[in-house]
Structure 1
Amino acid sequence: MKPIIQIDQVTKEFKGRAAVDNLSLTIEEGSVVALLGSNGAGKTTTVSMMLGLLLPTKGSVRIWEGNPQDRAVRNRLGAMLQEVNVIDGLTVLETIDLFRHYYSRSLPLDHLLHISGLGAEKNKRASSLSGGQKRRLGFALALAGDPDLLFLDEPTVGMDITARQQFWETVRGMAANGRTIILTTHYLEEADSIADRIVVINKGKLIADGTSAEIKASTNRKTILFTAGAHLTEDQLASLPCVNDVTWSGRKVKITSTDTDQVIFAMVQRQLDIKDIEIHAGGLEDAFQFLVQQ
């Protein structure tokens, strides 16, 4: 696969502080990449530079070997950003149709209304839509030019379950047709289910890059879930061997460990007041938390 995006030793500073710090990254054609990081990690700044909305302080960003600000480049990409600004007075239909005419190649209006689930709202003023409906409108606008490269920045925030399911079905269809998709999200289960590559940024630096399975395996952490009895104490759990983290949610407890066999053995040996024990391989969220806390 040939590279579409090439980020070479990019730094972006704001008032002397590096939001992105010497970042290098290559993204190939047809890949679905989840760009993960905590708030303030540099994800949105990185996406903004790829879109040409911000210029690097140092280094270079190239898309199809061109400048992200070039009209020919922008004509082939779409972006669904966190904020959707609509033009006062225009209906949903008029807003989508206006955006279609910004591109040399565009999807049919009826198709955009269908995949965004806004057919029933097409004659409403765009400014009167709910938060979730505006997110779906943002998706329609991002797809208006039938993009080869699609950026999705926290795309499902505010969407209900039905809209979210329809959204991901559409995105999976685009990925299956060879479109390149860059995704940022705090819903790690979404990244885990759709992305073929996970990139983790922390404090502006690249700290992990691989498939979801590789990211999860690299931390070598599993979780033990159980129900705590009335006599179990936090001190008893804290004294167990090989415990990295303990989380209580009412009487439900989750222990994260690099050696669940030793933890279970110690629990049984000490006859702790627990029941309903389950052991799970570490998920993407567990791996992510481990990586960003290093």
Structure 2
Amino acid sequence: MITIDRLTKRFEKRAVLDELTLSIAAGDRIALIGSNGAGKTTLFRCLLGHYGHEGRVGFDGTAGRRREPQALSRIAFVPQLPPPLRMPVGELLTFAEKGAGADPVAMRAIAGRLGIDLDEVRKRPFFRLSGGQKQKILVTVALGRPADLMIFDEPSANLDPAARAVFIDLLAERREASMLIASHRLEEVAGLVNRVIELDRGRVVLDDAVLDRLRAGEFRRAEITLAAPHAPFALALAGWGFDADPSGLRFTGPVPAAETFRFLGLIARYGSLIERMSLEEAPERVM
């Protein structure tokens, strides 16, 4: 579907993307991870044709420096920061309907599930909405239109917990679309993806095919030491089949390789409690 070959983007001579090479197949659902400044948003902007760049980005076998309108029409995008649009919400929805083929009935249903009444905000300028309202409108527009590829840059950052849960459900229902999701909420998107790609300094440092690992039955062995006993953490690890020593400080157990992403999302919630942690490939495979 998309082939990226030696993609390079510089800002003031600094390479934010450094000869990045990657292929995205139809049906791929990719969690894109990496620290701030790793190049995630810049990659998205290059795919969308917002930035000029070196290297090639090909859609279905065609490649060039500029995206073809036909290819861009197949991509839905939710940015990390909502644009400062001054148009009323109703005008934005009409534009999405006529310019991008969004279904007004679907948009109303999606917005309702996210907890926003389109009639209530229709006449209000988009830039005057709250951060959560803006994000819900952008998600509504993106999911209300047909798209072969959906790109989400920290899409749930401004959503309340109830809306985040609905958003994940909505993504799971879009089985026909490929997805690129950048998110710091690891535990939320783990169940949606079949690949995990990590960027660091503009290059791919991890490309983990989750389904391949699931089929292979690979496991990793984790050892975690806490600074002080913590009952909720012990209970969470017990659900993963971990053993605890008598002190309640040291835990060991297996982590299915296909579940590594979800496991790290769980661990991230308790990061301040962890004194030491290791996660290594297990010597054996479970068949």
TM-score bracket, normalised by the shorter chain, equals 0.7 to 0.9
Q: CA offsets per residue over residues 1-56 of structure 1, 9 Å max, x none?
A: xxx11001112122221111121110010111111111111111111111111122
| Unmatched 5+ stretches in structure 1 | 230-248, 254-260, 269-273
> Is the alpha carbon distance of 1:221 and 1:158 closer, same or farther for their aligned partners in structure 2, counting shifts above 3 Å?
farther
Distance 1:207 1:89 in 2: 41
Q: What displacement does 1:219 show?
A: 9.8
Q: Is the contact between residue 35 and residue 185 of structure 1 (CA under 8 Å) also seen in structure 2? A: yes
Q: What displacement does 1:154 show?
A: 0.5
Verify: 1:208 aligned to 2:181, yes or no. no
Which range moved further: 123-132 or 45-54?
123-132
Partner of 2:122 in structure 1?
123
Where do residues 1-294 of structure 1 align in structure 2 (5 Å cutoff)? Answer: 4-57=1-54, 59-66=55-62, 67=64, 69-90=67-88, 92-103=89-100, 106-116=101-111, 117=114, 118-119=116-117, 121-125=120-124, 126-174=126-174, 176=175, 178-212=176-210, 214=213, 220-224=220-224, 228=228, 274-275=247-248, 278-281=251-254, 283-284=260-261, 286=264
Residue type matched to 1:85 in 2?
Answer: P
Residue type matched to 1:111 in 2?
Answer: A
| Unmatched 5+ stretches in structure 2 | 235-241, 269-276, 279-287
Distance 2:19 2:70 in 1: 27
TM-score by length of 1: 0.72
Aligned residues: 250
Q: Is the contact between residue 154 and residue 184 of structure 2 (CA under 8 Å) also seen in structure 1? A: yes
Q: Is the contact between residue 219 and residue 254 of structure 2 (CA under 8 Å) also seen in structure 1? A: no
Using the aligned pairs only, state the percent identity: 26
Larger Rg over CA atoms: 1
Secondary structure at 1:275's aligned position in 2? coil
Q: What displacement does 1:193 show?
A: 1.8
Root-mean-square deviation (Å): 3.6
Secondary structure at 1:142's aligned position in 2? helix
Q: Is the contact between residue 96 and residue 144 of structure 1 (CA under 8 Å) also seen in structure 2? A: no
TM-score by length of 2: 0.74
Which range moved further: 158-167 or 206-215?
206-215
Q: CA offsets per residue over residues 48-94 of structure 1, 9 Å max, x none?
A: 1111111223x10112234452111111111101122253251x333
